[in-house]
A and B are shown apart, each in its own frame.
Chain A
């Protein structure tokens, strides 16, 4: 199985901050990576696909980058509605696997 490791597991930030968190795979996944945002009591929401492709309706302050085994999600200017938990997921092969999540909290 491909293990996905996200770091940090949590971070504290303020509105307007630029935040970046990472996702590492135990083997190269050829940009087969998705990022999700999950708020308490809600289902995850797909933000980016294939590492860098923003889903329709997702604000442009979200961006993704990376290659091989190392990927990042950046929020250029954190907004109040962005405080949530973010998960990465590889779809390179089954079993499809998720990272443990990064919780973005208000400083």
Chain B
């Protein structure tokens, strides 16, 4: 059974870098697209970006190039870095896996439980 678990600081200061990790268990991290999705408190969902096989990434232009997603060499987890954060980046951050192996444009089948990140001084 595939499981995803987000981890990282729950509080980040404005202008600093938000760093989160998603640990994958129960499946190989290859073959699928792995995404980050966020949800501000009591608001809707926003796709941040994805990574595939360490080589392919794509990001939501709304983040103005502040996001970087990387896949660790061990290939058991992938990470998100979001720099120059503001209060608008306060949200629950989810990692998620695509439904269809190798499908670049895909729905999100497996989700982590989410981790709340607050941007505040």
A residues sitting closer than 8 Å to B (CB atoms) are 1, 32, 34, 36, 42-46, 49, 55, 87, 89, 91-101
Contact = CB atoms under 8 A, between A and B. Distances in A.
Contacts of B64: none
A100 B114 CA distance: 19
A82 to B, nearest CB: 19
B91 to A, nearest CB: 13
Interface stretch (B14-22, B55-63, B68-76): B55-63
Interface of B: 35, 44-47, 58-62, 94, 96, 99, 104-109, 111-114
B45 A94 contact: no
A29 to B, nearest CB: 10
Given A95-B60, A95-B62, A44 B108 contact: yes
B44 A98 contact: yes
B4 to A, nearest CB: 9
Nearest to A48: B107
A55 B47 CA distance: 21
Contacts of B107: 34, 46, 49, 89, 91
Contacts of B61: 1, 95
B113 A43 contact: yes
3 tightest Cβ-Cβ pairs between the two chains A and B: A34-B107, A43-B111, A96-B47
Contacts of B94: 43-44
B15 to A, nearest CB: 25
A44 B45 contact: yes
Contacts of B59: 95
B76 to A, nearest CB: 20
